[in-house]
Structure 1
Amino acid sequence: MANIKPFRAVKPTRDKVSLVASRSYQSYTQAEREGRLNYNPFSFLHIVNPGYKYAKEISGEARYQLVKNRYLEFKEDDVFKQDKKPSFYIYKIVDRDHQTFNGIVAAASVEDYQNDVIKKHEDTIASREIVFKDYLKTVGFNAEPVLLTYPDNNAISNVITEIQKERAEFEFTTTYRDTHYLWQIDNEAHIKIISEAFASMNTLYIADGHHRSSSSHLLCEDLKAENKNHNGDETYNYFMSFLIPESELQIHEFNRLVKDLNGLTKEEFLIKLDTTYRIENRGIMPYKPSKPHHFSMYLDGEFYSLYLRKTSYKFGTSLDELDAQLLYQTILKPILEIEDLRHDKRIDYLSGKKDIVNLKSKIDSGEFKVGFGMIPATIEQMKRIADDGLKMPPKSTYIEPKLRSGVTIYEF
């Protein structure tokens, strides 16, 4: 039974939301960041990069405190205002390809995360969890929801459809040509329907935001230990989430780029691949795989197709069926000797949203030696791996939608 609660969001005013909303800090180029910071005084980037006004890189606790200061300034200047009633929020995105995403912004339970009602499919890095936990503890808010997915539900869908007949509180289009909408749900009858619908679900799945949810769990443990009057209702017992039905979740692949052939010549490398894969040279025309357990490879100006020899690999678990794991077990680890997919500097990842020509250009430039393409994982694979308590390799999925920071903020 999933415990999903309404909360009192802090939001930009309607006239400033398009100026406040920002992508994740890392997704901007330096030139893009500087442009927004120089010419848009309302950008949420001013909060997450508070040292910019001092022309100084600031890190650690000093940065966290300045983030809090900038955030409080936005509240004091009435750029942000907090809703008076606990609410759910319908968030809709229509992207430039006319794909539509509809979901509910709400508070999800840390206890559900602990008890595996909210299931995970990725490993987290302890040091990153602690850093983000300390950040949250100082700033006192979270502006990026964890993306959770749930089985399609008629009751929730009907409420969303009904509410969306009204004018959205927010409607703005980004320079990416994505249009974002937000509706507030503070009607008790609608809140009850949504809460009860989620309470009928045995499991939710993290689609994106494993470190954010884990850090929220650590934060809850810290604050619970410090609060002699802890009763379980405090806001730190929950974390902001965006809940989207499984049918609207989009999963893209991450293609792999490797800087060298581990000392092998091209011919030696192909001979080693031949043990596990049937190899066909596809020439100079871009090639993408179309089936599970088949890969494309770009090497030395040519594309290849790699077809797994069925007798050469045994599928023992749900994780073994995942193409990202298969590539690691059959090529990256045994042939190229890449053990640590998170930290090895020889490997990099390219979102499958980008054309295969992007992979080709990175190799043609000499930055990388070989690239591998695959098809996306499915929602069913992700759920099976989570249900089995297994963990995908890093960068196994590129998940959409991507929400903007600063549209709804959760305080604790």
Structure 2
Amino acid sequence: MAVIKPFKAVRPTKDKVAHVTSRSYQEYSEEELEATLRFNPFSFLHIINPGYKFSKEVSGEERFKLVHNRYLEFLEDNIFLKDSKDSFYIYQIEKNNFKTCGFFCATSVQDYRDDIIKKHEDTLSQREQLFAKYLNTVGFNAEPVLITYSDNDSIQVLIDLEKQKKPEYFFTTPDKIKHSLWVVSNTDSIQKLICEFKKIDSLYIADGHHRSASSNVLARMSKDRNPNHTGKEPYNYFMSYLIPESEIRIYEFNRMVRDLNGLTKEEFLIRLDAFFRMENKGSVLYKPSKKHHFSMYLDGDFYSLFLRKKVYGFTDTLSQLDTQILYKTILEPILGIKDLRNDERIHYGCGKHNVIQMKDDIDNGKFQVGFGLVPLKINELKAIADAGLVMPPKSTYIEPKLRSGMAIYEF
């Protein structure tokens, strides 16, 4: 039984929402970030990059406190307003031929602990603690956890009925993406959505494992220092964006490695032959076409690699993942990369045009070899989560990517 809860969001005013909301901080180049901070005083980037006001790089507790101060200024200047009613917030994104729609809500930390909200990635304790400290200091969360659920006709009917109304926001950003948001504050509509989710056994984190884990840490910290803890406090929940699984898109991360671990090209190819049937495809861009099929770019040529299934044994759902197969047959035993998260010899690239970037980087000597994979399917992600297993890092690049500052959850 999944628990969802409406909340009073802090949101930009209608006239400023297109200026306030921002892409993920990591997506901006240095030049674009500088231009946005200089010419757009309403950008949410001013809150998460508070040192700009003082022409100073800030970090740690100093940055956390300044983030809190900039947030208060946005409230004081009425750039942000807090809703008077608990609500759900339906948010639709249209990008080229891709339209996706879900809704912001508060999800339960207890559901996270009870594995009703299921995970498929490991988290680092140090990052959990750091982000929990950040949340505790700033007092709000502006980046929801992306959570998916099995397509449900009853839920979809309720959402579609709300979307027949005039949206609270409708705007287009410079990247030509259309954004629409509907506020669901009607008590009857809220209760119907809550009841439908009570019938759902499992939710799946698609993106945001560290954010959800940090919220769990924050909840424990807050409970320990609150002698009047009831379990209903805002810190017992975290903001999520719930979306049916048919409306997410999963892309692959390519792998690029700086060297061949002391092997010559010929020695490397011979080692690969133990696990793969190989074919040289020449210099024309080449991508794999199906599961257990990989591409490789090495010394100016693309290769197709077909797994020899009689040699590689499948033992569980994890062993069947292409990212795990690549790790167990090439990256670890041949190239000597044991720590996929921290080894500086490996780099990850994502996006539809990344095969071109991968080729350019290898041709320019930045890396020596690169591997392409097909995207994982949602049923593979769910199977890993259901089995309580963990995918290798950078197994999935998932869309939609949500704008920061659209809806803010206060603790």
Same fold, TM-score > 0.5, yes or no: yes
Map 1:140-219 → 2, pairs under 5 A? 140-219=139-218
Q: Which residue of 1 aligns with 2:264?
A: 265
Map 1:126-145 → 2, pairs under 5 A? 126-145=125-144
2:8/2:409 contact within 8 Å kept: yes
The alignment partner of 2:100 has SS state of: strand
Map 1:2-401 → 2, pairs under 5 A? 2-95=2-95, 97-401=96-400
The alignment partner of 2:318 has SS state of: coil
Residues 55-83 of structure 1, C-alpha deviation per residue, up to 9 Å, x if partnerless?
11111111100000000000000000000
Q: Distance in 2 between matches of 1:376 and 1:193?
A: 35
TM-score, scaled relative to structure 2: 0.99
1:129/1:212 contact within 8 Å kept: yes
Residues 236-266 of structure 1, C-alpha deviation per residue, up to 9 Å, x if partnerless?
0000000000111111110101111111111
Q: Distance in 2 between matches of 1:350 and 1:13?
A: 36
**Could you tell me how far 1:159 is from its partner in structure 2?**
1.6
Q: Distance in 2 between matches of 1:278 and 1:410?
A: 52
Matched to 1:397, the amino acid is T
Q: Distance in 1 between matches of 2:378 and 2:321?
A: 12
1:155/1:193 contact within 8 Å kept: no
Q: Distance in 1 between matches of 2:369 and 2:177?
A: 33
Matched to 1:201, the amino acid is I
Q: Distance in 2 between matches of 1:175 and 1:91?
A: 18
Q: Distance in 1 between matches of 2:261 and 2:159?
A: 53
Q: Distance in 2 between matches of 1:400 and 1:362?
A: 25
Matched to 1:13, the amino acid is T
Q: Distance in 2 between matches of 1:301 and 1:172?
A: 45
**Could you tell me how far 1:104 is from its partner in structure 2?**
1.2
Q: Distance in 1 between matches of 2:346 and 2:133?
A: 30
Q: Distance in 2 between matches of 1:144 and 1:177?
A: 21
2:254/2:354 contact within 8 Å kept: no
1:91/1:181 contact within 8 Å kept: yes
Q: Which moved more, 1:175-184 or 1:136-145?
A: 175-184
Matched to 2:24, the amino acid is S
1:255/1:371 contact within 8 Å kept: yes
The alignment partner of 1:61 has SS state of: helix
**Could you tell me how far 1:353 is from its partner in structure 2?**
2.8
The alignment partner of 2:319 has SS state of: coil
Q: Distance in 2 between matches of 1:83 and 1:22?
A: 21
The alignment partner of 1:320 has SS state of: helix
Matched to 2:85, the amino acid is K
Residues 199-236 of structure 1, C-alpha deviation per residue, up to 9 Å, x if partnerless?
11010000000000000000000000111110011000
Residues 29-74 of structure 1, C-alpha deviation per residue, up to 9 Å, x if partnerless?
1111000000000000000000011111111111100000000000
2:112/2:118 contact within 8 Å kept: yes
Matched to 1:273, the amino acid is L
Matched to 1:172, the amino acid is F
Residues 302-332 of structure 1, C-alpha deviation per residue, up to 9 Å, x if partnerless?
1000011111100001001100010000000
The alignment partner of 1:372 has SS state of: strand
Matched to 1:247, the amino acid is S
- Structure 2 gaps of 5+ residues are none
Q: Distance in 2 between matches of 1:104 and 1:200?
A: 18
Residues 364-391 of structure 1, C-alpha deviation per residue, up to 9 Å, x if partnerless?
1111111100101111000010011000
Q: Distance in 2 between matches of 1:235 and 1:355?
A: 41
Matched to 2:335, the amino acid is L
TM-score, scaled relative to structure 1: 0.99
- Structure 1 gaps of 5+ residues are none
Matched to 1:298, the amino acid is Y
**Could you tell me how far 1:355 is from its partner in structure 2?**
4.1
Q: Distance in 2 between matches of 1:293 and 1:315?
A: 12
The alignment partner of 1:275 has SS state of: coil
Q: Distance in 2 between matches of 1:316 and 1:249?
A: 28
**Could you tell me how far 1:358 is from its partner in structure 2?**
1.7
Q: Distance in 2 between matches of 1:156 and 1:310?
A: 41
2:21/2:404 contact within 8 Å kept: yes
Residues 153-186 of structure 1, C-alpha deviation per residue, up to 9 Å, x if partnerless?
1121112111111221111112221111100000
